[in-house]
Chains A and B, each alone.
Chain A
Amino acid sequence: MNIVVLVKQVPDSGADRNLRNDDNTVDRGSANNVINEMDEYAIEEALKIKEAHGGEVTILTMGPDRATESIRKALSMGPDKAVHVLDDALHGSCAVATSKVLAAALGQLGADLVICGAESTDGRVQVMPHMIAERLGVAALTGARKLTVDGATLTVERQTEEGYEVVTASTPAVVSVWDTINEPRYPSFKGIMAAKKKPVQTLSLAALGVASDEVGFDGATSAVVEHTKRPPRSGGAKITDEGEGGVKLVEFLATEKFV
């Protein structure tokens, strides 16, 4: 099975994250950039399918030059190769335009199965899998906590607000996964060394047949008008329980009218 995993480089969610003041895009320059955490689960799931059913695993990333670090990191887990969509015109692209670019790249790669994280930790927008599926005219099985592959039939347990749904489709399809689906492997030393030699193909917009005014700020379908930092929350009263902690807690709740 030809599996493509979408990998996004994001600013580390454990550190301070900002938007740039000049163009309101995510500040990647001052941030510690890492693989979107949920994508590691997507890579793991792809590797497990390859191990069980054979095939090839390709990483697909759209992003600036420095995304190369995340691509190598992804490859060190075990995928075979990577494709990096890299073009200065992409800076400032909205979700709709991004899905157009990724769909064009996926069309060229001819994937049977596209796996991605259910959301990224920076935008948390959660729209990419369905946008891509809509463009490619394939099934989207999203929010998977379990994925079963039986020949060309995919079955997913999809997490919902109320519980879960069992959803099925045939390949080709897009599957998005939550972090409950598996436990991603750590790259081995051998894996890290091998990753340095794995092929990473760079694709420009021209190679994908997407015009530069369809992406970036020119092609954006939405715009950030302004952004402000929220003042950090400050702690209030803190007491140490000396036998009356529960009562005092309820007294506080009562003054706030919760009891």
Chain B
Amino acid sequence: MSEVLVVVEATKEFGVKKVTLEMLTLARELGTPSAVVLGGTGAAEALSGKLGEYGAEKIYAAEGDEIDGYLVAPKATVLAELVKRVQPAAVLLASAQEGKEIAARLAVKLDNGILTDVVGLDADGTATQVAFAGSTIVKSKVTKGLPLVTVRPNSVTPAPAAAAPAIEQLSVSVTDTDKLAKVVERVAEQKGSRPELTEAGVVVSGGRGVGNADNFKLVEELADLLGGAVGASRAAVDSGFYPHQFQVGQTGKTVSPQLYVALGISGAIQHRAGMQTSKTIVAVNKDGEAPIFELADFGVVGDLFKVVPQAAEEIRKRK
């Protein structure tokens, strides 16, 4: 069976991201998964255990400042060389900012089609995409080159399949053009140990109804009790209640968790665009006519400052 390249998404703090495990699971349906680690020195070694657990038969690594010290272009160059050499059956990347950017450059370098925000991929290369804020399901195919797809987090249930991958270090020959955009600083703003928004199984979001930044503690508390991530509507972000990287919606993150809890969010189209493919949706809002209730599997019309603390207390009791 042909190799399927899976470009690894990982962070220093949390290691291999869940979307990577999803991609490895998906890749096993298409061929033999090989993980590609493009990052800082020693990254592949640190991640190899987890990648092997989910079926990576081989790990290709390109590491060091030449790769990690610049914005995505060197990664695309290394990946393009690798694709030309191993002629994989498909290349999978995460449908997040960097994954899409590497894929974009790879598509141009190889004059190859690209499909983003893929939620399913058949053995014949037919991809399923969700378009227009979840309202349309699209089946599409790359018609020139190999299937180059970016996979949306929370699309596949990761399944372990033990393998013992060897690491092959790739020679790095990036050009001066690849080094035009230099990363001079990386600043972590992620709060605490909560799961990342796009990967979380549970997301608890607050909107304008939360009232102020301080009250977001209530949203955070419920998120922590449910083991989830915290999100915010655009209204809440624009009002300065919560940082922009936690914004869910048309101009923020798209999330598709098992459970989405909307607190004080009216459910404007802008917000719905980012969350309406969530499996189960619950909402608390004082306005019984709020459009969020049209989506909610369970809705409570009431004051969130009464309902949420009571819910938190009830969860604690049950634990």
A residues sitting closer than 8 Å to B (CB atoms) are: 13-14, 16-19, 24, 37-38, 94-96, 99, 121-131, 133-135, 137-143, 145, 155, 158-170, 173, 178-180, 220-230, 232-241, 244-250, 252-254, 256, 258-259
Majority SS of interface residues in chain B? mixed
Instruction: Count contacts on B: residues with CB < 8 A to the other chain.
Output: 96
Give complex CA distance A122, B136 in Å.
12
Residues of B within 8 A of A24 (CB): 138
| B294 with A96: CB separation less than 8 A | no
B113 within 8 Å of A (CB atoms): yes
B188 within 8 Å of A (CB atoms): yes
Give A245 Cβ to nearest chain B Cβ, in Å.
4
| B136 with A241: CB separation less than 8 A | no
Give A15 Cβ to nearest chain B Cβ, in Å.
8
Residues of A within 8 A of B144 (CB): 220-222
B3 within 8 Å of A (CB atoms): no
| B142 with A222: CB separation less than 8 A | yes
| A160 with B318: CB separation less than 8 A | no
Give B286 Cβ to nearest chain A Cβ, in Å.
9
Majority SS of interface residues in chain A? mixed
User: Which B76-126 residues have a C-beta within 8 angstroms of A?
Assistant: 76, 96-98, 100-101, 103-105, 107-109, 111-117, 126
B171 within 8 Å of A (CB atoms): no
Contacting residue for B116 out of A17, A126, A180, CB 8 A:
A126
| B269 with A13: CB separation less than 8 A | yes
B29 within 8 Å of A (CB atoms): no
| A168 with B182: CB separation less than 8 A | yes
* Interface pick from B57-65, B158-166, B299-307: B299-307
- Report the nearest B residue to A236, measured CB to CB: B297
B46 within 8 Å of A (CB atoms): no
Residues of B within 8 A of A225 (CB): 126, 139-141
Give complex CA distance A244, B188 in Å.
40
B236 within 8 Å of A (CB atoms): no
| B181 with A246: CB separation less than 8 A | no
Residues of A within 8 A of B296 (CB): 235-236, 238
| B198 with A161: CB separation less than 8 A | yes
| B113 with A221: CB separation less than 8 A | yes
Give complex CA distance A211, B306 in Å.
65
Residues of B within 8 A of A253 (CB): 226, 259, 282, 315
Give B50 Cβ to nearest chain A Cβ, in Å.
18
| B299 with A235: CB separation less than 8 A | yes
| B103 with A127: CB separation less than 8 A | yes
